[in-house]
Structure 1
Amino acid sequence: MDTINSQNDARTEHKGALSGIRVIDVSRALAGPYSTMLMGDLGADIIKLEMPGTGDESRYWGPPFATYMSSNRNKRSVEVDLHTAEGRQIFFDLVKTADIVVENFRPGTMKRFGLDYETVAKIKPDIIYCSISAYGQTGPMAHRPGIDLMVQAVSGLMSQTGEKDGRAMKAGGPIADIVGGFSAVVSIMATLMERRETGKGRYIDIAMLDALMMVLNQQIVTYTATGKPYARVGNAHPLMAPYESFPGSDREFVMAVTNEKAWKAFISIPEFAFLDDVPEFKKQVDRNINRVKMLEMIYAVFKTKPADHWLAELDKRGIPSEPILTLPEVVTMPHILERGSLMEIEYPPGSGDKVTIPGMPWKDVAAPRVRRDPPGLGQHTQEVLEELYGPGYSARSAGHNPV
């Protein structure tokens, strides 16, 4: 897919908005690596510290090892054993050259290593130190083990997802990890700006659970305002109808009728003109109350013709509607390709194997292309340690004991 990156070629070469910023990444799995990858895309130098011989656990989630490949571009991998005095010294020496530290161990782990913010800030007072965890560094749940599925469950997101009478469902993607990672980057960017004025760093406590509270802002406010939680409604909207997925004769599509103008446009489709004669459907509030009866009628008509027919009719009238695409359809969409929404990496390093991954929505302030493919474990150990200690430094496997 050589054309995927071609859209970037015409852009002016630049190093990215975070060029000159160094991040020490001691995170693993997804939320932390995703946040540091985003900063790497923006031009920061990301030094990923990994346990010798094993490294980031996501390297082994597979095949096809999609988590690691999709969240670790634009980084350098260095094997360092933080259990050893030598490894911890390397960490501290790297911190002296850095702007940001990101970690996502369970709360208290970095303190047990003696690598917590208070200790690090004594060495580098302007360091920005971000901890990402499931439930945060404080509160009664702080030390519970937590990953994306657990956070989706306890946040209420799963209770709101799925069909009305079906089982609660997690989102189709690891949304707690991703939104947690984005929250970390927003906080770090704000602190970088703050540091320009104050010259001081900051400790940042990011909880994936807090991030999902923002995803559920509409549902939570509805409950706190009315005392009534949303019922699960599948693909529908709890406050308006028709607004959900519908079956054509060949495939499903989605449609949203959000106001009276859109309703008038919808019932101008000849096959749906009869709905104008039903008293229970005259106003939006009535359609919402009587949605079951209305949707049965709409489903019956939509099933008579292919989705493309209905999508053309809806589009003609300016009613929001789209097909529900499969992933094979998505990755070949002309719009996705023209936007440069996908890119290619090589993995494993030096294999010549190309893998297509999601690109950079932040590409306008990023480096124009992937500068580094996801690294092999320890691929840059010698390079980084020679930068730190000078040419001729010899890295040893356990703690990389300085010569």
Structure 2
Amino acid sequence: MLHETSHSTESAGKKGALDGIRVLDVSRALAGPYCTMLLGDLGADVIKLEMPGTGDESRYWGPPFATYMSSNRNKRSVEADLHTEEGRRLFMDLVKTSDIVVENFRPGTMKRFGLDYAAVAAVKPDIIYVSISAYGQTGPMSHRPGIDLMVQAISGLMSTTGAPDGPAYKAGGPIADIVGGFSAVMSVMASLMERGKTGKGRYIDIAMLDAVLMVLNQQIVTYTSTKKPYPRTGNAHPLMAPYESFAGSDREFVMAVTNEKAWKAFVSLKEFGHLGENPLYRSQVERNINRGAMVEEIRAIFATDTADYWLAELDKRGIPSEPILTLAEVVELPHVLERGSLMEIEYPPNSGIMTTIPGMPWKDVAAPKVLRNPPGLGQHTQEVLAELYGKATKTS
């Protein structure tokens, strides 16, 4: 049961900060749809153009069809084939009523359709046109096909993820797609502010690779300043210790000792008092250098009692620590429920099947709830055509 938040009650009737903004969305899969979903959450009218009969390929990634369901709320689906003259004409007619275009085809595709920024800006000079791709619109790799896994690999993210003596791992979530989508939204918001001052639109080139490199800012700076490979350290922090996951007698948890105050608090536990007397662990630098033996001893002590016992003792001393929860525990976490961090959608349309999905951290500037469930393919074609032309017109 999801809780109603005070925010939701106070915001009843609000449509979101971007009410009155229209987004023409010709993206598919994840990075682009995630971007446009966020804009829709913020109140924009998002029209999702999809290939007739097939639509966004993420509709078929499943079951369950988690990618589509989690990235396509607050949109209207219209079938249109950009390979045809009629589909391209519909696109350009919608451009005239739109503020933002978002596409994530391989670079050059929209130009081949005759629907690139230059063509669109000739019709709507103040358009904000966003292209999201794996490697960007320029550079020697721009032509390469790329999705989340490829970007995680080539960015260096995978090389720094995993145990020191094990294989490289991708992140547990599609981080390249997500941070690419977030980067696009941030660029759109800045461009809307700029357009309010200048009356001019803008072309925005978002590369998922660029976005992931920002995630790796600490790792890259460590390498460029030392010329040493950034170590793969599993759940540990390469610059601070103890700062990683540990196991109690029943389950795993994490703990971070980040400064001298926290260290003194940690060794105030009777079980760890002797560590505070060891000259090898006097400072953060020394603890980092001599982490091997120290962490091994800490692990042995933590294994003697339950995670709940240790978490309670660490919490009393103000030391950051939390259990490692399963997803089953996360979706029932009282804090998550109280904040309204999850929400429900219905999918397929009119099925009565409700699915819990992540909510909106940006809820203070968004509509108080999902205004549109993820649409069926072409669900709003006739509705949008009627708005555009005054009567429904079939497209191919």
TM range (shorter): over 0.9
1:240-273 deviation per Cα after TM superposition (whole angstroms, max 9, x unaligned): 1000000100000000001111111101101111
In structure 2, the residue corresponding to 1:3 is in which secondary structure? coil
| Structure-2 residue corresponding to 1:201 | 201
CA distance in 2: counterparts of 1:39 and 1:280, whole angstroms:
53
Structure 2 residue 70 is the aligned partner of structure 1 residue 101: no
In structure 1, the residue corresponding to 2:355 is in which secondary structure? strand
1:78-134 deviation per Cα after TM superposition (whole angstroms, max 9, x unaligned): 000111001100000000000000000000000011100001110001100000000
1:336-368 deviation per Cα after TM superposition (whole angstroms, max 9, x unaligned): 000000000000000000000000000000011
| Structure-2 residue corresponding to 1:148 | 148
CA distance in 2: counterparts of 1:191 and 1:10, whole angstroms:
29
Native 8 Å contact 1:4 1:343 kept in 2: no
Structure 2: runs of 5 or more not aligned: none
Q: For 1:203-218, list aligned pairs within 5 A.
A: 203-218=203-218
Structure 2 residue 147 is the aligned partner of structure 1 residue 169: no
CA distance in 2: counterparts of 1:45 and 1:193, whole angstroms:
18
1:213-237 deviation per Cα after TM superposition (whole angstroms, max 9, x unaligned): 1000011111111111321000111
Code of the aligned partner of 1:258 = T
| Structure-2 residue corresponding to 1:131 | 131
Native 8 Å contact 2:29 2:58 kept in 1: yes
Q: For 1:126-275, list aligned pairs within 5 A.
A: 126-275=126-275
Code of the aligned partner of 1:381 = T
| Structure-2 residue corresponding to 1:375 | 375
| Structure-2 residue corresponding to 1:299 | 299
CA distance in 1: counterparts of 2:32 and 2:26, whole angstroms:
8
CA deviation after TM superposition for structure 1 residue 14, in Å: 1.2
Code of the aligned partner of 1:162 = G
Q: Give the aligned length.
A: 396
CA deviation after TM superposition for structure 1 residue 2, in Å: 4.9
Native 8 Å contact 1:32 1:132 kept in 2: yes
The 10-residue stretch of structure 1 (10-19 or 181-190) with the greater mean CA deviation from structure 2 = 10-19
Structure 2 residue 29 is the aligned partner of structure 1 residue 29: yes
Native 8 Å contact 1:6 1:340 kept in 2: no
CA deviation after TM superposition for structure 1 residue 395, in Å: 1.8
CA deviation after TM superposition for structure 1 residue 7, in Å: 5.4
Native 8 Å contact 1:256 1:319 kept in 2: yes
Native 8 Å contact 1:4 1:342 kept in 2: no
1:193-230 deviation per Cα after TM superposition (whole angstroms, max 9, x unaligned): 10111111010000000001100001111111111132
Identity %: 78
Native 8 Å contact 1:148 1:175 kept in 2: yes
Code of the aligned partner of 2:97 = T
CA distance in 2: counterparts of 1:37 and 1:373, whole angstroms:
11
Structure 1: runs of 5 or more not aligned: none
User: What TM-score do the two structures reach when normalised by structure 2?
Assistant: 0.98
CA distance in 1: counterparts of 2:30 and 2:215, whole angstroms:
18
| Structure-1 residue corresponding to 2:323 | 323
CA deviation after TM superposition for structure 1 residue 276, in Å: 2.1
Code of the aligned partner of 1:395 = K
Code of the aligned partner of 2:121 = A
Native 8 Å contact 1:162 1:233 kept in 2: yes
Structure 2 residue 286 is the aligned partner of structure 1 residue 286: yes
| Structure-2 residue corresponding to 1:395 | 394
Native 8 Å contact 2:244 2:256 kept in 1: yes
Structure 2 residue 9 is the aligned partner of structure 1 residue 19: no
User: What TM-score do the two structures reach when normalised by structure 1?
Assistant: 0.97
In structure 1, the residue corresponding to 2:125 is in which secondary structure? coil
Native 8 Å contact 2:32 2:104 kept in 1: yes
1:143-190 deviation per Cα after TM superposition (whole angstroms, max 9, x unaligned): 101000000000000011001111001110000000000000000110
CA deviation after TM superposition for structure 1 residue 277, in Å: 2.7
Native 8 Å contact 1:7 1:338 kept in 2: no
CA deviation after TM superposition for structure 1 residue 3, in Å: 2.9
| Structure-1 residue corresponding to 2:341 | 341
Native 8 Å contact 1:26 1:50 kept in 2: yes
Code of the aligned partner of 1:39 = L
In structure 2, the residue corresponding to 1:102 is in which secondary structure? strand
Code of the aligned partner of 1:37 = M
Code of the aligned partner of 2:152 = Q
CA deviation after TM superposition for structure 1 residue 4, in Å: 5.3
Native 8 Å contact 2:240 2:258 kept in 1: yes
1:311-341 deviation per Cα after TM superposition (whole angstroms, max 9, x unaligned): 0000000000000000000000000000000
CA deviation after TM superposition for structure 1 residue 24, in Å: 0.2
Native 8 Å contact 1:130 1:205 kept in 2: yes
Native 8 Å contact 2:152 2:176 kept in 1: yes
Code of the aligned partner of 1:240 = M
CA distance in 1: counterparts of 2:388 and 2:5, whole angstroms:
34
| Structure-2 residue corresponding to 1:50 | 50
| Structure-2 residue corresponding to 1:73 | 73
| Structure-1 residue corresponding to 2:61 | 61
CA distance in 1: counterparts of 2:259 and 2:82, whole angstroms:
58
In structure 2, the residue corresponding to 1:176 is in which secondary structure? helix
The 10-residue stretch of structure 1 (327-336 or 221-230) with the greater mean CA deviation from structure 2 = 221-230
1:259-304 deviation per Cα after TM superposition (whole angstroms, max 9, x unaligned): 1111111011011111123221121111100000000100000000
| Structure-2 residue corresponding to 1:359 | 359
Code of the aligned partner of 1:175 = I
Native 8 Å contact 1:5 1:344 kept in 2: no
Q: Quickly say closer, same or farther: Cα 1:2–1:267, change in 2 above 3 A.
A: closer
CA distance in 2: counterparts of 1:327 and 1:7, whole angstroms:
25
CA distance in 2: counterparts of 1:267 and 1:92, whole angstroms:
67
